[in-house]
A and B are shown apart, each in its own frame.
Chain A
Amino acid sequence: MHSWIKIIFLPTQLVRNMVMVACACAHQAATGDGAKTFVIFLSSLLQGLLMALGKGVAATASPVPRRGQRGNSCIGRKEIAQSLVAFQTRVLDQVVTQDLGKHFLSAFPHRTAGIERPMLESIFEAYLCGRIGRTHLKFLSQLGCDYYYLCMPCETGSNETLNFVNDCFMELHTAVTGLPVSSSRVLDGLVLQRDFVAYCPADGDIRMLIVTDSILPALSASGVEFIVNTQVQYQASQAWISKRTEAVMKYLQNHKVKVLLSRAKQEEMVIYYAKLSGISVVHCLSPEEVSLLCRITGISPFRYWDNIHSEITETATAKFCRPILLGSKRYVHLGFSGTSAFRPHCVILCGPVHGVTEQHASAFHGAFKMLQLLFKAVDQTDRCKEKTEHPNKSSDALGCSCHSATPQKFKTEDVMHSSDKTTDQQLNVIRSERESQLTDSAMGTGENPAFVQKDLQKSLNLAVPITEIENDKFPGLTNKSPFLGETENLHLKYRHPSEIQVKGESKPVVSNQHICKVATAVAGNTSTEVVPRHLSTIKDCWKESSELVPFEDESSYKSSVQNYSDLFIQAGSVLPVGGNFEILLHYYLCNYAKQCQQSKISIISTVIADALLSIPEILYRTERGSGFPKFYLEAISALRNNQPLPRPQKGLESVYCKYLLVASVLHCVTKLLSVDLIIGIKRLPQITEANDSEEDL
């Protein structure tokens, strides 16, 4: 799998679609949401990229691929694929954390307490409205909230509960057809989708035992031979089996076991003796149900039948155990006091037909998956640790690639400051933002980055290293693809200092902007004096420890650093629904593209930024004819004037899910673009058994 991954499969034109669908499904499975957005975004991104390819991204890039021209076209595509990877780790993460970060709302307004009900409701509603019809939206959101709060033991970690619900959701819900949706409800305890084979009513606390195998002793076990010598011996052994089963049940009765939950099917005789001993029996439970029961009760299945005189330790206590009639079927209803992570409740989903209950169940499950991601804090340092394996080696590699390349304007001494690039980059961002406000060119600047670049370089010597590195990257990486991953990790890791600057919102940025402005206008030496001081500080700090130290002369950063330095996206970060995330990302990516001197990254940023708009475009198109342009203009002007975004809907959605969506679409595009040729074959690539297939074909 060096540079071209070849996908070999039968119907050629479907392969791309299949890859897309597979990626979308994988994304949906992981986050519980976003399959539709995935496809919309992906298709408009691909269109955008093909258009960009057509125009010619770089001088080396070839025109749009056609049949017979694959050999040429793949170079351009491959470069795009690689710059997409670079974009994700270098630009996307930064923009999401830094620029979008200030727009995030928190689902936990009071840090210690859990999420409040109106907040949770609006998150549920926003999620469910894409998955189920509007008719039952309100009702199911309420049901979801009820379920969340009922399952949640007070004041403890919600993530554990959510993990539990997500793992066991198939067992925690019961679908009932033939009843209106409004009959759906949350029940205390668990519903096992079996009926009692023996039911003996019992009150008070009920001791129960879980078994996995049949209790009835057999004449012979596997691999054992049972020899019958006489009739009497045979009769005696039959009688012993009966007596033994009776004794086991008496033993359970003596230990006050009232309910026997079994995974295996139990023989008639076992059920008979259980009934005589006043023990209720439920058998043929699924392995998942058994594991859920074990998790809730904290016991493990009972196996020690050899010694039926010892104390039974593996019992759990149920609050109640009774049959329940749901629809036209009878199930077992068990009540538990629960664990510290989960108060057992189950949800009954009713609907007129099976399809409706299924849809509601999957939407419900997805909502809890989404909550799980929402409540997870995304740690940047963790991500770095996972990714970066050889940081030193990678920095060497970077140096190498930079040196070996032949850029137009290359300054060797600045490469030594490769770690400073983010700081400079930041300056560029701010400056270009400023510029764009001055020139009032909202979208068009993406096409003339050269102007900005030139301007910048005239004014700031510092700006050079970034651009050079970025320029080098493509030739360098196509030649030395093994270094690809590491190079990115390096950038990622070195991004911390830059965060420091951006997080300080008000004063410092202004001062920097001021500096930039001055720098642009005067093109004097002041800025070069100011910035190296910063750089050296950062460098020193970085060498001493991986902890981030704020700038000595700008104490106002301190608090923001402490707030944001170790978190990439905070737990519970949400944004209003209705394309807010997309608009914000679009806006900041455009800004980035305007200041970015590297043409490929700049173009890719613009393409992605434009593709992002396809999502709000669809969202607003369905409502009224001119919905989207109006929304777009309002949103962009609000952003320019630092006003809050328009918010036509009151739902909220998880930022992390949205971020994951963009990241996985980029990943998928990369995957698609790195395939240059599809070969149709008539069987699966790996056939281990060739005996019958040879004849068949």
Chain B
Amino acid sequence: MSRIEAKKPSLCTSAPLTKDTVSHSMSVLSGILKSCYGPTGRLKQLHNGMGGYVRTTSQSSTLLSGLSATHPILKVLTASVQNHVSRFSDCGLFAAILCCNLLENFQRIKLLPCTVAKISRHLLSLCTDYLKSEACACRILVDFNSIETLLCLVRSVLTSKPACMLNKTEADYIGILVIKAFLLTVPNNVETNVALGKCIIVPVKNKRVMDSTVFPGLLIEIPELQMARTFPIRRVSSSSIKIALFCISLSGDHSSTGEGTVVVHHGVSLELAELDQLLNLGKQLVNDQVGLVVCQKVIHPSLKQYLKEHHIIAVDRVGLSVMEPLSQMTGSKPIAAIYSLSPSCYGILKDLRTENFVSKHFLHLIPNDTLVCSLILCNRNETAWDELKVACQTAEHVLQLTVKQPLALLGGGCTETHLASYVKYEVFNLPTSTFESLDCSQAQYQLVADAFCHSLESIACCLEHDNGEILTDAVYGHFWSIPSGFPSDATWSDLVSKCGCGMHSNQQKLKWMVLRNQHSPFTPQSCCKDPCVKSPDLRALDCFVAKFSGLQVAVETANLILDLSYIIEDQN
């Protein structure tokens, strides 16, 4: 360009965290996130002032992508949580709220950011070491032989998203479906390299949740007209149908001709030449006893007609997303040539059926080894369906992560309160050499540790949105909530019924106290010696990997933000 414009100088803000606008928008964001947390969280409506689709949600992924954070500090926070969610799907709100809490509490103690960072990293390592150790009392081993723990894990994910509008039976029903679908994606023959299959969610809106169902294999939607005329189809044997999968267009358009020019003589029709070849391909497919042709792109109507005449079902425009699952479950290789097809590129299906669902018609492809399944997901309205879809995907991802590391953390706020009491106890008993190696005083350490524990406890308190009282017990350090409006003369043991995760009840003679009050540190005890508990009353479990990483990300992001002493924005 021949013209240049004068560059605007960069905008430099010092000590950004102390600015009113930042702390204000930070507290707004933190308020939004906190009010969404947990099964009783409040819902948020996201809508554009110009009109259009309104989304009701309480999930971090939807919220954060919908909110447009403008300030760099908020951007760091939201980006960091979004990155976490893209990797783990779960515990996004946990990470975001914990980060906000830490920022709030660390700012209050007015120590140098580097001192805070050093100490909080040490505290984090205390937590992570504990969570990883065998002695950890807030984690349990997940037994894949029992559906109970799996269901609890999945149900916790589903119920923590109240915008799905599920009641208890529906949550159980969907939970079972998700587990079923997940188990269908596990290969039957486990070799060294286990690759999980895929669960494809088929949307059916404006139907009852209880109408949802799961099919092994793949469902491909087809127009009604095609349905009636295709059967019976060609089979190789009673239980096998040959399938050919094309990833190129069979529409008869010219393929690329290279960089030079192509001169066509008068009277020569390339279209006819192409169609001629397509029909030759059809002939070969007939000869090879193919029963089903699936094409990612478009099939020429004449070829379709030809195939139909020979009782071959042709499905086109299936799109890229089903190509991989299709090739995975049938063992076919997507074909990209129309000459001399190799017999090895065909796949085998066990059976082919049609399914009708509401007003939709599906071709149901049933494979021999189910690696792929289709989950027909119903919900009453569009926004609740969207929410449910994300919830189911999260639940599936949680199961996948749990297969890799079969551990789960106690849910319902118990992990947080337990961890806080563990940290308090550990800090109380730290040798003085620790402070020396960290180059800080014991008082500084205590301040940061208190802020850290307070943040953990606050996040547990966010589970309660109805002004109830939050208690903790002095033995296990679990989370107990009592509803608001209790009589002042009542004893707490009468008011509490079960702790957040459901592992303990008021039958045990425990000593309760108000959570955020100061109390003397104690060793939180493990509930029972058997790490693989099967408490039938277990109410909530969280994905270990996701929460573990969420904890780390929250502390790291908080330290990162605290450490920012300048923001330099390029205004050009």
Instruction: List chain A positions with a Cβ less than 8 A from chain B.
Output: 10-11, 14, 133-135, 177-182, 201, 218-231, 234-235, 238-239, 242-243, 245-246, 267-269, 271-273, 275-276, 327-328, 351-356, 683-684, 687, 689-690, 692-693, 696-697
Contacts and interface: CB of A to CB of B under 8 A. Distances in A.
A617 to B, nearest CB: 19
B336 A228 contact: no
Contacts of B261: 220, 225-226
Contact of B2 (A201, A223, A272, A687): A687
Contacts of A355: 76
B258 A219 contact: yes
Q: Which 5 A-B pairs have the closest CB atoms?
A: A218-B258, A220-B260, A178-B83, A272-B336, A268-B336
Contacts of B549: 179-180
A689 B2 CA distance: 8
Contact of A226 (B84, B257, B276, B342): B257
Contacts of A230: 265, 268
Contact of A231 (B4, B9, B276): B276
Contacts of B276: 231, 235
Nearest to A351: B556
Contact of A352 (B257, B269, B273, B553): B553
A230 B270 CA distance: 9
B257 A684 contact: no
Contact of A135 (B117, B265, B344): B117
B339 to A, nearest CB: 4
Contacts of A267: 256, 336
Nearest to A326: B87
B41 to A, nearest CB: 23
B340 interface: yes
Interface in B256-279: 256-265, 268-270, 272-273, 276-277
A178 B86 contact: yes
Given A134-B117, A242-B337, A227 B4 contact: no
9 contacts: A11-B6, A179-B553, A220-B258, A222-B260, A223-B260, A228-B268, A245-B337, A353-B76, A687-B2
A272 B342 CA distance: 11
A354 B79 contact: yes
Given A229-B268, A352-B80, A687-B2, A219 B560 contact: no
A226 B263 contact: yes
B437 to A, nearest CB: 12
B2 A684 contact: yes
A246 B3 CA distance: 54
A690 B6 CA distance: 20
B308 interface: no
Nearest to A228: B264
Given A11-B6, A219-B257, A178 B268 contact: no
A276 B255 contact: no
B551 to A, nearest CB: 9
Contacts of A234: 268, 270, 273
A180 B255 contact: no
Q: Which one of B2, B277, B340 has the highest number of Cβ atoms from chain A below 10 Å of its Cβ? A: B2
A135 B559 contact: yes
Q: Main SS of the interface on chain A? A: mixed
A224 B270 CA distance: 19
Nearest to B271: A231
A133 B558 CA distance: 13
B230 to A, nearest CB: 27
B335 interface: yes
B501 interface: no
A275 B327 CA distance: 12
Given A219-B262, A220-B257, A235-B277, 16 more contacts: A11-B6, A14-B9, A135-B121, A177-B83, A219-B260, A220-B258, A220-B259, A229-B268, A230-B268, A272-B337, A275-B333, A352-B553, A352-B557, A353-B557, A355-B76, A683-B3
Q: Which one of B3, B256, B258, B342 has the highest number of Cβ atoms from chain A below 10 Å of its Cβ? A: B258
Contacts of A220: 257-262
B523 interface: no
Contact of A356 (B273, B339, B344, B560): B560
A697 B117 CA distance: 54
Contacts of A687: 2
A234 B276 CA distance: 11
Interface string B336-350: 111110101100000
Contacts of B83: 177-178, 327, 352-354
B263 A227 contact: yes
B334 A180 contact: no
Contact of B556 (A10, A224, A352): A352
A181 B556 contact: yes
A692 B336 contact: no
B114 interface: yes
B2 A221 contact: no
B116 to A, nearest CB: 10
Contacts of B338: 242
Contacts of B4: 10, 683-684
B248 A268 contact: yes
A272 B334 contact: yes
Given A180-B553, A272-B336, A228 B79 contact: no
B560 A229 contact: no
B3 A276 contact: no
Contacts of A235: 273, 276-277
B131 to A, nearest CB: 13
B263 A228 contact: yes
Contacts of B340: 242-243, 246
A243 B339 contact: yes
B169 interface: no
B488 interface: no
Contacts of A224: 260
Contacts of A353: 76, 79-80, 83, 557, 560
Contacts of A268: 247-248, 336
B189 interface: no
B270 A276 contact: no
Given A218-B259, A227-B263, A683-B4, A242 B557 contact: no
B42 interface: no
A135 B193 CA distance: 38
Given A178-B87, A328-B86, A692 B2 contact: yes
B289 to A, nearest CB: 20
Nearest to B249: A268
A10 B6 contact: yes
Interface in B328-380: 333-340, 342, 344-345
A460 B469 CA distance: 93
B254 to A, nearest CB: 9
B251 to A, nearest CB: 14
Interface in B239-255: 247-248, 255
Interface in B77-98: 79-80, 82-88
B87 A134 contact: no
Q: Which one of A327, A352, A692, A697 has the highest number of Cβ atoms from chain B below 10 Å of its Cβ? A: A352
A693 B2 contact: yes
Contacts of B221: none
A215 B272 CA distance: 27
Contacts of A180: 549, 552-553, 556
Q: Which one of A14, A224, A272, A693 has the highest number of Cβ atoms from chain B below 10 Å of its Cβ? A: A272
Contact of B260 (A221, A246, A271): A221
Nearest to A687: B2
A226 B559 CA distance: 66
Interface in B533-565: 549, 552-553, 556-557, 559-560, 563
B118 interface: yes
A332 to B, nearest CB: 16
A231 B273 contact: yes
A134 B4 CA distance: 41
B2 A226 contact: no
B336 A271 contact: yes
A135 B118 contact: yes
Nearest to A269: B336
